[in-house]
Amino acid sequence: MYLAANGRPDAPPRTPGARRRVPATVLALGAVSLVTDISSEMVTAVLPLYLVLGLGLTPLQFGFLDGMFNGATALVRLLGGRLADRRGHHKRVAGAGYLLSALSRLGLLLAGSATGAIAAALAADRLGKGIRTAPRDALISLSGPPETLGRSFGVHRAMDTTGALLGPLAAFAVLWATADAYDAVFAVSFCTGLLGVLLLVVYVPAAPGPATAPPAPPASPASRAAPPRPSVLRDPAFRRVLYASTLLGATTIGDSFLYLLLLRGLDLPPVLFTLLPLGAAAVYLLLAVPAGRIADRTGRRTAFLIGHAALLGAYALLLAPVGAPTVVGVLALLGVFYAATDGVLMALAAPALPAAGRAGGLAVLQTGQALARLVGAAGFGAAWTLWGSRPALWAAALALAGALAAASRIMPAAVPAASPIAPEAP
């Protein structure tokens, strides 16, 4: 069990070597994510225009395709984590996911107006993202000492967000240079995605790093006949982190709803909808590394809960009369929320997981949170439809306040480090 000098048990002890450089593997994976996000966000920025205005799909058809594949991504993460843990091939599984996403851009380029081919390309992109996420985060967590994981994840998320900011700008630059040729955007995105795969192959080592444990011994014939329950789910500290993060995820209504509420409150033109995410992303980019460092020093549990308190503050601002300061405040609080929760949650849970099962454990955590957020977004949408936006937002704020109080009691004050290998039950 970790006990910090300031009395906070969830902060690992600082050692003389803790103030070291960010591991090279983390920087390499950050570069891969930066380039891949440029590729991905180029397509995301123009896809609604291409499908709805260019090919004539209805918004309902586009929303169904996007929602269905986003839901499938959450479940595919379990497969990616399991495959990575089976033989310790985190880099290979992550690389397969990155390559699949890159090839999906080629699929869009070749699909033309065939709806089925477009759906297959979108499915390949979401599957690739789902497969690579848990092995990538496991590589980050295994590449350096536990006491600096918050900073490592903060650096990675900052580089990832940089790509998310540059992607739409690159897409619009290509459209401007080619007189709205969507095929050119897909072609440039495909080449950029392949560059990300190349960076992974060349610069990311196959072995995660000093925290890596040897692979688990082969299972006995009896255990192969009846697969046991994953050992990570039997760890009490990990289960409590999972329950708390899932509960909070179910009260997270989704960024798009917050942006829609801002647009309606100010009666702004719909074209500005695409610019609002850039404000939150910019704050996230600025705060990701500082938030990770603060979480390492003062406690990751505390930072994670404060991040959700910032989200509750955004809800409260939207319940007040909406003006220009409201927009700035909501976007700033949303950026704080992501900076204090996204990578911090992975840094909080990773030390409790055995190295031989870390990708699978992180996949369980990510999947639980993602599915809970889908439920939360669907519930808020239904409440908005039935009651109106303001009563629905009041209900969401009260639910988040209750979940935050419950999570502060559920989430363990200390997350003990796991043994190198946690054997599964016979």
Mean pLDDT over 32-41 rounds to 93
- Say if CB 347 and CB 141 are below 8 A apart: yes
**Planar angle of CA 30, 285, 170, nearest 5 degrees:** 75
| The pLDDT of residue 57 | 64
Q: How far apart (Å, rounded) are the C-alpha atoms in residues 215 and 165?
A: 38
Torsion of CA 345, 146, 419, 348, to 10 degrees: -10
pLDDT at 421 over 50: no
- For the chain, percent of residues with pLDDT exceeding 70: 79
What is the DSSP annotation of 7-70? S-TTSPPP-TT-S-PPPHHHHHHHHHHHHHHHHHHHHHHHHHIIIIIIS---HHHHHHHHHHHH
Confidence of residue 375 (pLDDT cuts 50, 70, 90): confident
Q: How far apart (Å, rounded) are the C-alpha atoms in residues 39 and 42?
A: 5
Distances (CA, A) of 53 to 10, 47, 66: 51, 10, 16
Q: What is the mean pLDDT of the chain?
A: 82
More confident residue, 277 or 160: 160
pLDDT at 217 over 60: no
Which of the given ranges, 3-7, 248-252, 322-326, has the highest pLDDT on average? 248-252
Give the number of C-alpha atoms closer than 13 A to the C-alpha of residue 318, restricted to the C-beta side.
Answer: 31
| The pLDDT of residue 120 | 84
Helices 24-48 + 90-111 axis angle, to 10: 20
Which of the given ranges, 7-11, 63-67, 134-138, has the highest pLDDT on average? 134-138
What is the DSSP annotation of 89-117? -HHHHHHHHHHHHHHHHHHHHHHTT-HHH
